Amino acid sequence: MDEKKLDEKRLFLGESEPLESVFKRFLKYFESDQLVTNQLHYILQALFQTLISNVLSETESRYLLAAILSPRYRIDTKRLEEELMFSYKSMGGKSKKAKIQRFEIYKNSLEYILLDSFEGAIKTDKVYLFGHFEQGPQFEYRHESTLYKSITVSCPLDHKFAERFVGKRIIFSSADRMGTDFPHWEVVIDEKHVARAFYVYANYEGAKPSFYYKKASDDLYHSLNTVFPGLDQTDWESQIEFNKGHDVWLEKIEEKVDSKRQAIKSELGGQCYQNGVPVKKLVYCGPLRSRFLGLFGYLLNIFNH
C-alpha cells in the first residue's frame, strides 16, 4: 500500500482496522456512477462542505462517510469567542472594532489601512481578510467555480408533525435541480416550531437576495408541504421573514478523470487581486479557500501559503 493511501486511512480510522471494510463498501458504492449515487454525493457535499464537484476523491468520500456517522455539535458562539479573545489577549494580541475607510496600496503592495477611528492610518506588515468580499474592499479572490450564496428564511410552522422533526436537518433537492441556479435548500425546525431555512442561489453579477424571495417562499412551501401535508400557503406567506445568509458554496463541474482524486489544498492559495493585479501583503482567508474535510481542510488551506 502506498504512503498516501496509508495516510488517508490513518486520518479517518486511526488504528481501527475493522472500520476499513465499512469505508471500502461505501467507496465502492460511490464509484458505481448511478443517478442515486450522484445525488447522494451532491447532497452530502452540500450538507458537510463548501465545495461541490462531480469529481470523486477517495479522501473526500471517506470524510463524507465520517460526517454521516459522527455526532454533530452546536457551538456556543458567544462563549467560544470570549474564550478565544481571552487567550488572544493573554498572548499580547489586541482587538478593535472599526470600519476600514480606505486601503492604501503602493506599487501593488498594501502599506496602510485607514480606519474610521482616532488611530487613522495604520502601517501594515500583512493583513488577513476573513469573510466575503461584498462591500467596501475593491479586491477580488479569483476562482473558476460558480459561486452560490444563500437566503435565510424563517416562519412559524403550525403542524402536528412539527415536534417529530425538531433539531433535524431536512434538505431538499432533485435530479433536475442539481447544477441549476437553485440547486438545494435546507430546513431545521427549532424548539419553538419555527422553520429556519437556507435557500441557495447562484450569485451571478448583479444578483441580489431580494430578487429570489418569492421563488424561495414558493419552493420552500411546496417542499415542506410534502413533509407536513395541509400547510396553508396564505398563512405561510403572511408570516415568512427573509434575510441575507452567510453560507456560501463553490460548484466546480469537471470532466470525469481516471484518477478520481482532487487536491485537498486549494491551488489558488490566499492571493488577492485588484484590477487583475496581485496585491502583496494582503491574504484572503475566507470561506472560498475551503475545499473539503470540514474545519480541518479549511485550516489546512488558510495556513498553506
3-state secondary structure 73-116: CCCCHHHHHHHHHHHHHHCCCCCCCCCEEEEEEECCEEEEEEEC
For residues 25 and 162, give the distance between their C-alpha atoms in angstroms, rounded to a whole number: 35
pLDDT at position 37, please?
86
Single-letter code of the amino acid located at 294: G
Do 20 and 74 meet the contact criterion of CB atoms below 8 Å apart? Answer: no
For residues 102 and 113, give the distance between their C-alpha atoms in angstroms, rounded to a whole number: 6
DSSP-assigned letters across all residues of 243-255: EE----EEEE---
Q: Can you say how many angstroms the Cα of residue 202 is from the centroid of all Cα atoms in its chain? A: 14
Beta bridge partners of 77: none
Q: Are strands 169-172 and 121-123 parallel, antiparallel or unpaired?
A: unpaired
199: closest CA among 209, 178, 211, 185?
185
How is residue 11 written as a grid cell?
Answer: 486520518
In the chain, DSSP finds a helix count (H) and a strand count (E) of 8, 13
Per-residue pLDDT of the chain (305 residues; tens, 9 = 90+): 444 544 555 666 655 667 778 888 888 888 887 888 888 888 998 888 888 888 877 888 888 888 888 888 888 889 999 999 999 999 998 887 888 888 888 888 888 888 887 777 888 888 888 877 654 457 777 777 788 999 999 999 888 898 999 988 899 988 888 888 999 999 999 999 999 999 999 988 888 889 999 999 999 999 999 999 988 888 888 899 999 888 888 887 776 555 555 566 666 677 888 888 888 888 888 777 777 777 777 777 777 65
For residues 291 and 54, give the distance between their C-alpha atoms in angstroms, rounded to a whole number: 13
How is residue 233 written as a grid cell?
Answer: 400557503
pLDDT at position 218, please?
93
List all residues 6 or more positions away from 183 whose beta carbon is below 8 Å from its beta carbon: 42, 46, 52, 148, 173, 177, 200, 251
For residues 244 and 281, give the distance between their C-alpha atoms in angstroms, rounded to a whole number: 30
157: closest CA among 72, 83, 80, 229?
229
Distances in whole angstroms, Cα of residue 45 to Cα of each of 4, 50, 73, 82, 224: 23, 7, 18, 31, 22
State the Cα torsion 199-202-206-209 to the nearest 10°.
0
Model-level pTM? 0.78
For residues 57 and 65, give the distance between their C-alpha atoms in angstroms, rounded to a whole number: 12
